[in-house]
Amino acid sequence: MKEISIPGDKSISHRSLLIGSLCRGKTRIKNLLRAGDIFSTIACLKGLGIRIEETEDGDFVVEGGCFKKPDGILDCGNSGTTIRLLSGILAGQEFEATLDGDSSLRKRPMKRVGEPLTLMGANIIGDYPPIKVKGSYLKGITYKLPVASAQVKSAILLAGLMASGKTTVIEPLPSRDHTERMLEFFGVPIERDGSTICIDGPVEISGDREITVPPDFSSSAFFIAGGLLIDHPIIIRNVNINQTRTGFLECLKKMGANFEILNKKLLCNEPVGDIVVKKSRLHGINIGKEIVPRMIDEIPILAILACFAEGRTKIEGAEELRVKESDRISSIASGLSKLGARIEELPDGMVIDGGYPLKGATIDSYDDHRIAMAFSIASLVVEKIEIKGKECVDISFPSFFDILYSIDTSKIYR
């Protein structure tokens, strides 16, 4: 059995830095993801006067509680999490800041964050990056999200920490709850009742806590998929198995995948476990909008698996993929078509008829890390796949190709 090590969870790494910056005191973070998106968050926080230091043993220590007006534009790079969550924090500060990013981030909509923060009293200028955030005295609001989005929800909740009165967010469908879990870990009272989350502000958070970031589930998903396609079993230890993230596993179970989760426990208020995966005979399924928010980042790799499953897989309700690092519906459809897959692009998803042989081709990653990684996993079983721009994986998973090579040493993947 091949044991592989996955780096720290990207979503939790972002939140540990951002929530740590709001604390009075120091927050020590173990197993922080070392990747481009996280370095963007670190750079932005340092630009706001937050002290972040790396220790000799590789931990990161955040000394928070005091923000200052930045000297220049805060560069969020490729990171949608950075720009959206940081907007929530900046909404309650006493200065103006400009947030920008790379060409991909400049295509991602920010109005969905700007509208609720404006209702709370901030002034957000710009529907796409660069955006200006003019902080202000905030008041709590009740806001029903038009689309399930953990990033928008988190921005509102972080602003709610600085707002006067109760801030309530109502979700149409469950999305990732890492922000709520981490705030609870820091002792912040959170009211959760089904799809409703409330914070009664303002809240001062005390630091002097230690966070261990578990291995990233979304990164693990690529190797879970790989384990279903190759002959030798794979085990990944202490993976984050938060139920708001594991819609992918639920879909795999329906497809007939052979996997099990062992040694379940809580780590810093996040559920983790060891995932063992074996080669499986899969069949197609229907995936609807009710589960998509809990597997939005895993749809590219699930589309790859659907090509190797018997029968038809239909994915609907995933229009959010249109506004990710690339238009992922189009990116997946284009790449799979070049491989010879039978795929139909839908406005909010795709239909894939599996079980047909695939052929090698040159695939464009569109500088989207999850597209590059998904087609790299396909290359475990399809010869001569070349991926343009695959270095984009470094923004979330710099060790991806090293791990892929350790599974199959017959090819050079980097």
Helix (H, G, I), strand (E, B) or coil at 355: coil
**Residue 198 · residue 168 · CB < 8 Å:** yes
Using CA atoms, how far apart are residues 274 and 215, in angstroms rounded to an integer?
10
Strands 205-206 and 23-30: parallel
User: Of these residues, 75, 216, 297, 394, which one is catalytic?
Assistant: 297
Catalytic residue at 353? no
Report whether the peptide linkage leading into residue 202 is cis, meaning its omega lies within 30 degrees of zero. yes
Using CA atoms, how far apart are residues 198 and 188, in angstroms rounded to an integer?
11
Helix (H, G, I), strand (E, B) or coil at 135: coil
Helix (H) or strand (E) holding 412: none
For the chain, give percent helix, strand, coil, nearest 5. 35, 30, 35
User: What's the burial of 329, exposed, middle or buried (CB within 10 Å: 0-12/13-18/19+)?
Assistant: buried
Using CA atoms, how far apart are residues 383 and 386, in angstroms rounded to an integer?
9
Q: In what order do the strands lie in the sheet with 165-170?
A: 142-144, 165-170, 196-201, 191-193
Q: Which of 252, 267, 246, 383 is nearest to 313 (CA)?
A: 252
Catalytic (active-site) positions: 297
